[in-house]
Amino acid sequence: MTLPIAAALALTGCSGTDESESGSSPATEQTTSAQATASESAPATTEATDGASDEPEASNDVDDLPDYVKPYPDSEVVSASIVKAHNDKDSKKPEQISLVVRAKAETKDVFAYYEKELGKADYEPLGDEVKTKSARVLNFRHKDNDSVLVVTVADDAGDKKHKVVTIGGNIVP
């Protein structure tokens, strides 16, 4: 159950806020609803699968994310997750990752930081920055495999001085 929700969050590059802060945009409301559902169905600790389960292995620890997917400097981590999209030992199958932080920063500075950090891991921008009513989005792809990451920056509905930054997508380890 948590895999489709994590995938939806990671692939759409959405960011969310607490339900008390929702109402600022449809994207925020949709993500808040998905996060509420995810928090009801998944514990906040690291999960591991046993041999009888069909659920993939998952972690909610920011330290389990790849080194190049790190919190923006001086930011507050809201959530972090990595879900293996498989149960076997084949390390070439994709993993779904997501990191959400609150940062007091300008959007251009956030994009410049992640362009530099992801660039060190052979990611390059994919297309142009997309501006929506409530967010700005920049996609990245790995030069040598099918890994794709989405960086989304939106105003924090509860504090206009802060941004909510989401990094998510599918990576091939």
One-letter identity of residue 167? I
Query: Average of pLDDT values for 97-120?
Result: 95
Query: Average of pLDDT values for 95-122?
Result: 95
| pLDDT for the residue numbered 10 | 44
| pLDDT for the residue numbered 172 | 86
Mean pLDDT of the residues in the chain:
74
Q: What are the pLDDT digits (tens) for 118-156?
A: 999 999 999 999 999 889 999 999 999 989 999 999 999
pLDDT exceeds cutoff 90 at 163? yes
| Residue, of 84 and 70, whose pLDDT is higher | 70
Residue 38 CA to residue 162 CA, distance in Å, equals 24
Nearest Cα to 54, choosing from 12, 11, 85?
85
